[in-house]
Amino acid sequence: MRHVSFFLTSMLLGSTAFAAEPTVKFSLEPDAAGITHKYSGEYLFTVGGGVAAFDCNDDFKPDVFLAGGEGASQFYVNRSKKDGALRFEKHESGAELASATGAYPIDIDTDGKMDLVILRVGENVVMKGEGNCKFSRANEQWNFDGGDAWSTAYAATWEKGANFPTIAIGNYVDRAREDDPWGSCTDNWLHRPNGGEKSFAKPLALKPSYCPLSILFTDWNRSGTPSLRMSNDREYYEGGQEQLWKVEPGKEPVRYTDKEGWRYLRIWGMGIADYDLNSDGYPDYVLSSMADNKLQALEEVPKDAKPEKPGYVDVAFKRGVTAHRPYMGDDLRPSTGWHTAIEDVNNDGLADIFIAKGNVAEMPDFAMHDPKNMLMQGEDGKFVEAGGTSGIGTSKISRGAALMDFNLDGLVDAMVVNRWENVEVFRNVSTDAGNWIEFALREEGANRDAIGAWIEVKVDGRVMAREAISGGGHVSGQLGFWHFGLGPSDKAEVRITWPHGEAGPWAQVAANGFYLIEKGRDPSAITVPE
């Protein structure tokens, strides 16, 4: 399937995809499903507003850490009943730090308890998961130098042979440069393992920094060694552009150059999401921005070899993904995009695109009433706006988000963090959605959750594929089940290409279930509690 053209893929889809007219319905849960939380603060919290969603009490339901900005962060435990209304309960987790911009879950020490990396204006903090959604500061234990910057982006990978993750931190503007903040992007950092120790080495400065608001380790050419993609905010850099760093084990990271095929692109980079949206066997990237959004696909995919040139073309306009202005209401000024995620929200076997929207603050040339986008992929590969019809298109000053199956009903729900306004929780109540399947991945030893794996799901000969990532979005991370829609099919085949390139076998699984896929073993069904 790797080299099937988009149009051929579309023809194949025509015979297998589920709904001719993609539909989805979200219900805005009353009282935000029990959550009272705003992302607060002024200038230093203009960006940020993240949520980390992951299960920390072993009931498979994602619990959430919510960055508070200037105020305290909060933790909420997921008390939703399976298939029921969404419900969260405030919980003292020990991670309620102030000055947080966002957070990402990751099991750093491979103890089976999810840890948390909290990005802050000031010192970043790694919190060790103690179980039952309790956390304790671990900067000293793991020799993690939290620095003192305005941190706005995170990505993690496990370099080949490492028993500790490599964590990249993206940093924003020099806070001291009040009257001329432009061109003051501070260094990004790469926290690599300290040899074979279960701790971090002194962070490496990634220069030049161009003020990233989203970064992602992604194996763009499926080489087995992920590279570091950075989406940078052109408002603040000078001489900058988007970046892709080669991060090879034991070597200094180096940037891909134009001679290697990297294309000069300058946007207000706010968020990254990836998924193979054109069935070429490689990830495509949604990049959220202001007054425009990009959908990047590799320009050249060799027939019998892996791509060598990271040359991307923007197919957002062609596929209806620019989402450049509000699609409803009378405020038609250009939009401002933040968190973006790619999930199949109606389970038709076609991944859809979510973009959180919201004015920076009160920029008068941009929409103040800026509804969120829910771009539904159709059988022709084009995306159609369903924010309004689905109920998710409310207008707030939105920032981060998590799109996960919070009540384990097989439908992807959404939680959105808003600046100065309460969190919104949307339950997916679609009644005509297709079948689905969700996977948790497991490796022995380090990188327990198989970050960097490539997950393929085959339905009626058609392959859907995505990366297991830790990073991207807008200062929001999620880790749990990887979800796929199957359309009308009652079964699917799944194959995992494990981090660093070892492909497992295709395995058949029944639809509408949760599975654990352990490396070297057949998928096993998980029974989730009610």
Partner 1 sequence: MAAPPAAAEVLERWYKLVLLLVRHTPIYSPPVASRAFAYMATAVYETMAAISPGWQSLAGQLNGLKEPPYKEKPQGLDLAHALHGALEASVSSFFVRTGPSGQRALKSTVRKVSADLAGSVSDDVAARSEDFGRSVATRILEWSDGDGGAVIENMGFPMSYKPKEGKAHWVPTSTIGLQQAPLLPNWGNNRTFAMPDGGACPIKGPPAYSEEKDSPFYKEALEVYDTVKNLTPEQRAIARFWSDDPMLSPTPPGHWISIAMQVAKQRNMTVEECADMLLRVSVAVADGFIACWRVKFEVDLLRPVTYIKRVIDPKWNSPLITPPFPEYPSGHSTQSGAAAATLTTLLGDNIAFEDATHARDGLPSRSFKNFWEAANEAGISRLYGGIHYRAAIDHGLEQGRCVGTYAANLKTRV
Compute the least distance from the CB of residue 427 to partner 1, in Å.
Answer: 31
Which residues, including other chains, have CB under 8 Å from residue 526's CB and lie 6 or more apart?
60, 440, 513, 514, 515, 516
Quick one: tokens of 134? 């309790």
Q: Which residues pair with 103 in a beta bridge?
A: 118, 476
User: Whole-number minimum distance, CB 150 to partner 1, in Å?
Assistant: 12
Nearest to residue 439, comparing CAs of 519, 500, 501?
519
Q: Smallest gap, in angstroms, from Cβ of residue 100 to partner 1?
A: 20
Distance, CA of 468 to CA of 493 (rounded, Å): 17
Residues at the contact surface with partner 1, assessed by CB under 8 A: 43, 46, 173, 178-183, 234-236, 238-239, 266, 290-292, 314, 316-318, 322-325, 332-334, 360-361, 363-366
Pair of tokens at residue 50: 């993240």
Least distance (Å) between residue 325 CB and partner 1: 7
Please state the closest distance from residue 414 (CB atom) to partner 1, in A: 24
Structural contact between residues 143 and 193, judged by C-beta atoms closer than 8 angstroms: no
Nearer CB in complex with partner 1: 175/198? 175
Is 121 or 291 the residue whose CB approaches partner 1 more closely? Answer: 291
Q: Which amino acid is at 314?
A: D
Nearest residue (CB) to partner 1, 18 versus 366: 366
Nearer of residues 261 and 334 to partner 1, judged by Cβ = 334
CB-nearer residue toward partner 1: 366 or 514:
366
**Helix, strand, coil content of the chain in percent (nearest 5):** 5, 40, 55
Q: Are 487 and 411 in contact (CB under 8 A)?
A: no
Measured from the CB atom, the residue of 323 and 469 that comes closer to partner 1 is 323
Strand order of the sheet with strand 352-357?
337-343, 352-357, 373-377, 383-385
Say if CB 476 and CB 402 are below 8 A apart: yes
* CB closer to partner 1, 210 vs 482: 210
Q: Is 437 left (phi over 0), alpha (psi -120 to 50) or beta?
A: beta
User: At closest approach, how far in Å is the CB of 289 from partner 1?
Assistant: 10
Query: What is the closest distance, in whole angstroms, from the C-beta atom of residue 178 to partner 1 in the complex?
Result: 5
d(CA 521, CA 296): 35
Question: The sheet that has 507-510: what strands, in order across it?
Answer: 462-467, 454-459, 491-497, 507-510
* Residue with smaller CB distance to partner 1, 363 or 503: 363
Shortest Å distance, C-beta 339 to partner 1: 20
Distance CA 429, CA 166 (A): 38
Judged by DSSP in three states, 26 sits in: strand
Token pair of 172, please?
């924003």
